């Protein structure tokens, strides 16, 4: 007796529905990071809510502030997941502070001493500056948005202006659930190379490097808190070393802040910290450890991850995030 052929195998309809539903939900829940160019600004957002701006060319200054303090090549404003502002710009006490930036303070370049940090502090003209050069590319995406750009470290004591360093910024921006905390994440890699056959010498100094200025609401000395990976607060942590550092305070009645994670491949890791005792500003400052230099043909690379989140700092959670970043 001839057997009937078996019917072709079929996937149960309920399984198709489950798989389709899972894929659809995953797609709908994908938080795409978008980038929009608005004049001299790149704006990164998720769901229409801004995460941060990258100020390219020098932006406007507040009313009544001298135009010498116009500056670019920095990140500001930066927001928490609930939209709380965590950075400051053009504060009254230091008009040259600018969100998150990279600059050197005490330097030697041949016979000159360009100060790239205190832009506009002395005199009616800039003695030196970090200037936006060009935008190599920018992108939006379901995993992250980002950009690659070029900065110039210029010494204006020469005629014409002398290019001292070329710098590349590679930045990615995203929002992610890290354990129980929704977090805005900014990864920053800075690569600096000599623009001439002369080194940039960096004598021992207590600040210069990655600068961070907190929300202007934290200007009163008791309005800002800082915490380092070694458990130090603002006063005890100044001139110590760390793997990470948190800065935060109240914004609109609730605590918020940001953590700077320091990559272990960075020069002089764990890196020295400058925690300003008078205003909400900190610096990752490798020059604290003594004289050094950026040499021709030897790129200086530094990597940082900025975690922006609401709530009070949780040292165990931060340490866990640093461990992930370090690997």
Does residue 4 sit within a domain? no
pLDDT of residue 124: 65
> Chain-wide mean pLDDT for the chain?
91
Does residue 109 sit within a domain? yes
pLDDT of residue 13: 38
Does residue 167 sit within a domain? yes
Round to whole Å and give the CA distance between 84 and 252: 8
Q: Which two tokens stand for residue 295?
A: 């040499």
Does residue 16 sit within a domain? no
Round to whole Å and give the CA distance between 224 and 281: 9
Tell me the per-residue pLDDT of 67-121, one tens digit each, with 9 for 90 and over.
999 999 999 999 999 999 999 999 999 999 999 999 999 999 999 999 999 999 9
Total number of domains in the chain: 1
pLDDT of residue 158: 85
- The parent domain of residue 285 ranges over 39-326
pLDDT of residue 12: 43
Does residue 227 sit within a domain? yes
Does residue 6 sit within a domain? no
pTM above 0.85, yes or no: yes
Residue 108's Cβ-count burial label (10 Å; 0-12, 13-18, 19+) is middle
Task: List the CATH number of the domain containing 88.
Answer: 2.70.98
Does residue 204 sit within a domain? yes
Does residue 211 sit within a domain? yes
Tell me the per-residue pLDDT of 201-245, one tens digit each, with 9 for 90 and over.
999 999 999 999 999 999 999 999 999 999 999 999 999 999 999
**Cα atoms in the 13 Å half-sphere on the side-chain side of 17:** 3
Contact present, 285 and 267 (Cβ < 8 Å): no
């Amino acid at each position: 007796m001839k057997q009937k052929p078996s019917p072709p195998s079929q996937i149960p309809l309920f399984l198709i529905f489950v798989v389709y539903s899972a894929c659809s939900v995953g797609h709908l829940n994908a938080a795409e990071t978008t980038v929009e160019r608005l004049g001299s600004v790149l704006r990164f957002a998720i769901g229409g809510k801004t995460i941060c701006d990258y100020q390219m060319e020098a932006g406007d200054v507040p009313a009544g502030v001298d135009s010498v303090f116009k500056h670019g090549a920095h990140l500001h404003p930066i927001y928490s997941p609930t939209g709380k502002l965590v950075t400051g710009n053009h504060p009254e006490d230091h008009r040259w502070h600018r969100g998150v930036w990279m600059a050197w303070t005490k330097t030697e370049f041949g016979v000159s001493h360009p100060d790239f940090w205190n832009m506009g502090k002395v005199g009616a003209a800039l003695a030196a500056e970090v200037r936006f050069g060009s935008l190599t590319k920018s992108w939006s995406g379901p995993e992250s948005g980002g950009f690659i750009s070029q900065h110039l470290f210029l010494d204006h004591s020469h005629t014409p202006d002398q290019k001292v360093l070329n710098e590349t910024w590679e930045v990615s921006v995203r929002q992610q659930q890290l354990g129980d905390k929704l977090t805005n994440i900014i990864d920053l890699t800075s690569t600096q190379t000599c623009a001439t056959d002369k080194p940039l010498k960096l004598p021992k100094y207590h600040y210069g490097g990655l600068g961070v200025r907190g929300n202007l609401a934290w200007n009163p000395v008791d309005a800002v808190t800082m915490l380092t990976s070694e458990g130090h607060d603002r006063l005890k942590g100044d001139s110590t070393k760390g793997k990470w550092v948190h800065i935060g305070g109240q914004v609109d009645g609730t605590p918020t802040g940001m953590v700077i994670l320091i990559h272990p491949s960075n020069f002089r890791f764990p890196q020295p910290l400058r925690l300003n005792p008078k205003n909400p500003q900190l610096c990752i400052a490798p020059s604290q450890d003594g004289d050094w230099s950026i040499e021709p043909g030897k790129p200086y690379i530094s990597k940082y991850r900025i975690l922006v989140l609401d709530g009070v700092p949780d040292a165990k959670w931060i340490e866990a995030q640093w461990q992930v970043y370090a690997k």
